[in-house]
Amino acid sequence: MKFETVLLQSFFAACMLLCLAIMSAMLVMPSPRAVAAASHVPAAAVGVAS
C-alpha cells in the first residue's frame, strides 16, 4: 500500500472520530437554556457577555 493511501485513510479515520465525538457531545450535553433554568439564572442574562 502506498504511503499516501495510508496517510489519507488515517486522516479520514481521525476526522470521522472527531465528528463522532462532537456529535455525541451535542446529543449528550443539555441545552444552554436547560442549564440556565437549573441554575436559576434569569433568561435575559443567558448569552450576555460581561
Contact criterion met (CB below 8 Å) for 46 and 36: yes
Whole-model pTM: value is 0.58
9-50 pLDDT tens trace: 999 999 999 999 999 999 998 777 777 777 765 556 556 555
Question: Which cell goes with 1?
Answer: 500500500
Confidence of residue 5 (pLDDT cuts 50, 70, 90): very high
